[in-house]
Amino acid sequence: MRERAARLADVAVADARAATWEELGRVHSAAYVERVRGGGLSRREQLALGLPWSEALVVRSTRSTGATIQAAEAALEDGVAVNLGGGTHHAFADSGRGFCVFNDVVVALRALRVARPRLRALVVDLDVHQGDGTHALLMEDTDAFAFSVNGFRNYPFRRVPGDLELDLADGTGDDAYLDGVARLLPQALARSRPDLCFYLAGADPYEGDRLGRLALSKAGLAARDALVRDSLHRAGVPACVTLAGGYAERIEDTVEINLATVWTFASP
């Protein structure tokens, strides 16, 4: 506990700003942004999103996206930063799905490129659900590379191809999962040659997750995070971490997994 308290002295925590409508408009269609902003989402759109529209939803979504922009900027300056949220990878240009209103990672990437037009990015998406929105938005982006590890029989059921993917069977545990990440992450780094990595550290591969269908232990998830951290550190790639999904039967388990991710990336 004392060791963790000492490391906290090196961690700065700040309130997130809201992403601007201009920043959101670089990724999402003007009509979709206006429907979200003004409460014009249809019932069908709200059902696909899985959330009812409210002013609080707009505030939460814009600030969560702004937090990823700020974390990405901080990662380029300091080597690593974390958004205590984000990872909303099911949002497409003109629609939100699966609890994801705006695609924070792609919005952040486009925001960074205003000052750094040729910034190369690697997205390492280890949320259990495929980031279909991210894949669609980056499909024509030759300076971005999407690597993901997904539960094969899980949402979304209509997939969008990424650059490098590993699909896993229900019930996959620590060893097979970690072997797959250890085998493919070096390939993703070599092929993408990134200036920055966006890491979606989903808690939902956990064995006690209601929506995950995989069987990783908390120790296995911590080993996953350390594997990603060490691989990026060796490659000299800054890390912008988002926490993405987590739906454990006990919310305390999701919080514990998320906290372990933050501690891992706060460690040298």
User: Which is the catalytic residue, given 90, 129, 135, 233?
Assistant: 90
Residue holding tokens 């209601």? 210
CA torsion through residues 218, 68, 234, 191, sign: positive
Q: Is-contact 26 106, C-beta < 8 A?
A: no
Q: What is the largest CA-CA distance in the chain?
A: 51
Q: Is-contact 137 27, C-beta < 8 A?
A: yes
Phi and psi at 145, nearest 5°, equal -140, 130
E-state strands within the chain: 80-83, 121-125, 144-151, 164-168, 196-200, 239-242
Does the annotation mark 233 as catalytic?
no
Lay out the sheet containing 196-200: strands in order across. Answer: 80-83, 239-242, 196-200, 121-125, 144-151, 164-168
CA torsion through residues 114, 117, 119, 120, sign: positive
Where do runs of H (alpha helix) occur along 89-214?
Answer: 104-112, 132-138, 174-192
Beta bridge partners of 166: 149
Active site residues: 90
